[in-house]
Amino acid sequence: MAKASVKIFPTLEELSWAAAARFEDLARICAIEKRNFCVALSGGLTPRLLYQILGSETFAGRIRWDNVHIFEVDERAVPPENPQSNFGMIRETLLSHISIPEENVHRMAGEAENLDEVCRQYSAELVRVLKPAKDEFPRLGLVILGMGPDGHTASLFPGSEALEEKVLWVRPNYIDKLKMKRLTLTFPVLNAAEEVLLLVAGADKAETVRKVLEGPPGQFPVQRVDPVNGRMSWFLDEAAARLLNSPPKG
């Protein structure tokens, strides 16, 4: 993770506006290059404001949404109407406010009975849209991630089986401490991305942020996010960065 950049912003709002600007820049580059901008979005509290900004009147007309394909990083095993659904949150904060073709939105069907089949179908959708070369992982243009106080990212929690997945692109993952099944992209897919933005806000994350960025590797799942041929940036608010010994400036 030494090659990752770290930027610190005074507030979650400023962090979110900076992330929205980066999203817009990458979308514009893809439009100029006449290729789809394929992104994977996470759930959770931290990215909500980012999605609200992207769906706001301020951003109207600044992104060619017909050129954007939206995937999910992970999902809980619940229907989209459930308050815990990541897709439900993304739909509420972003999708319901933008003009994006329905076929450009790729939802993980967390409510399905056979989650293994859902994962196979989602992998096939990644192939159809991203068209990876044989024996290569799909290359998303941007992945938005968060981090929990326990150092998990996506639905890759400490001690869970999916941490060691090296073949499957998408898989179910049972989180014992939550007594819940989830679906998640795996590290090989996350690390094949062109760019990863890791958004972390809140004082409850500060100790873990310090250990992740300044401690030894291998302690937390998030430390395994390391794009092979891409760029990775940490966007922190001051509360999350308050325990860093040498915090950089945003």
For residues 156 and 175, is the Cβ–Cβ distance under 8 A? no
Q: Is the pLDDT of residue 53 over 60?
A: yes
For residues 1 and 213, is the Cβ–Cβ distance under 8 A? yes
| Among 126, 61, 73, residue whose Cα is nearest residue 98 | 61
- Give CA–CA dist 164/120, Å, rounded: 18
Least confident of 60-64, 190-194, 223-227: 60-64
pLDDT of res. 250: 47
Q: Is the pLDDT of residue 194 over 90?
A: yes
pLDDT of res. 60: 86
β-partners of residue 135 are none
- Give CA–CA dist 148/175, Å, rounded: 13
pLDDT of res. 23: 98
Side-chain-facing half-sphere of 128: CA atoms under 13 Å: 11
pLDDT of res. 3: 79
Average pLDDT over residues 213-219: 94
pLDDT of res. 199: 98
Instruction: Name the more confident of 248 and 245.
Output: 245
The mean pLDDT value of the chain amounts to: 96
- Count of residues making up the chain: 250
Least confident of 1-15, 31-45, 98-112: 1-15
What's the angle, vertex CA 206, arms to CA 2 and CA 52, rounded to 5?
A: 90
pLDDT in tens, 56-101: 999 988 999 999 999 999 999 999 999 999 999 999 999 999 999 9
Q: Which two tokens stand for residue 114?
A: 């056979």
Q: Which domains does the chain have, with CATH numbers?
A: 5-241 (3.40.50.1360)
pLDDT in tens, 137-175: 999 999 999 999 999 999 999 999 999 999 999 999 999
Strand 5-9 vs strand 68-72: parallel, antiparallel, or unpaired? unpaired
- Give CA–CA dist 89/192, Å, rounded: 26
- Give CA–CA dist 229/211, Å, rounded: 25
pLDDT of res. 214: 95
For residues 11 and 19, is the Cβ–Cβ distance under 8 A? no
Q: Is the pLDDT of residue 1 over 80?
A: no
Average pLDDT over residues 28-51: 97
Average pLDDT over residues 209-223: 96
- Measure CA 100 to chain center: 19
Average pLDDT over residues 4-15: 97
Q: What is the largest CA-CA distance in the chain?
A: 48
Average pLDDT over residues 192-196: 98
Average pLDDT over residues 104-122: 97
